[in-house]
Amino acid sequence: MITKTHFGEVSGKPVEKYTIENQNQTRLSVLTYAGIVQEFSVIDNNERVNLVLSSDRIEGFSENTYNINRVIGRAAGRITKGTWTQDGVTHHVPTNDGENTLHSGPEGVGNQFFVVKSVDEDKNQLQLTYTALESVDGFPGDLDITVTYTLTENDTVDVTFTGHQTKQAGVFNPTVHMYFNLANPGITDLTDHDLFINSDQHLAVNAEKCPTGELIDNAGTPFDLKHHHDLGEILPELKKTTVEQGFDDVFKVPANQDAVAVKVTDRVSGRHVAIHSDRNGIVAFTESQIGNDVKYLNLGESKPWMAVALEAQTLPDSENHPELGDVSIAADETQEYHIQYVYGKYCK
């Protein structure tokens, strides 16, 4: 079943919400503004639990800078100085993070309206499209982007990104900036969560959080989430030992759709979400320095460690560090990427 409702306005334009519900009463709600996942909820112990940080008002998404559950593109992450050279051509794109470009700059996909391409109730599927124009965002060429959301009957959210580039070569490295908190309603931090990341190394970054191209071994550090998962122990340690006071880091993972890249688990309820991706990076961000200024959230007044953003993508700034991956897309080329969010629950 798929339903459509009005969800407020951004800059005078109406926002629509499409809600997919499967036979288990699991729901996926997606907004036409920024492709936002407003709800990924399940019925557990006769109570509906939204697994993602959310809001019942569009202002909870549009009036802050945390990109809550937005589709990000053309390129997720930072591009150093907003500059790179591709096929012998040096490109300069608009900056929005000091001298650097974050999540594709001020006119990136995460700030745009999508058009609904199709609604398929038989497949529990919604397709959204947006054309990123060089004349609007400053990136080379034009890029037709289709985002396909599917809610399966076994409570998995499949996201497929399709990009078709025209005019000249460019870049394509999309993600969903999804924030998770799987706890029972009323629990507003991550201290009862485990976080597994299938990673042996994370990216070194400079003082502006731009990758240097180097990789740091995780073993023996709080970044070894492959072997040590308890955020209730790890986050207080990071608060004392890091500038970020938590995670704002990029982990290298296997680019293997069949493998689990990340798994977040609430130990109290047993609820968990495993993330599968066909790309080699996961950004983990625990919004550890957030104040109480983000309004209208489903978990109440904003505060550190309220949720963890888990962004599956190609390692960022590979435009300048080709050893980190390849996000180039040629003129007249079509590329496709996939993310799966697989819900489950451990028996207690």
Which residue of the set 91, 103, 177, 272 is catalytic? 177
Q: Name the one residue in this structure whose structure tokens are 């990109």.
A: 67
Q: How far apart are CA 196 and CA 227, in angstroms?
A: 8
Specify the amino acid at residue 340: Q
- What's the residue count for the chain? 348
Q: Which of 107, 287, 311, 319 is catalytic?
A: 311
Count Cβ atoms below 10 Å from residue 336 Cβ, excluding itself: 13
Q: For residues 73 and 168, what is the distance between their CA atoms, to the nearest angstrom? A: 17
User: Is residue 319 annotated as a catalytic residue, yes or no?
Assistant: no
Query: β-strands 201-205, 211-217: how paired?
Result: antiparallel
Cα 128 to Cα 149: distance, rounded to the nearest angstrom? 8
Judging by beta carbons within 10 Å of its beta carbon (0-12, 13-18, 19+), is residue 168 exposed, middle or buried?
A: middle
The Cα angle at residue 252 between residues 249 and 257, in degrees rounded to 5: 120
311 burial via Cβ count (<10 Å: 0-12, 13-18, 19+) = buried
Q: Is 311 a catalytic residue?
A: yes
Query: Active-site residues: which are they?
Result: 177, 311
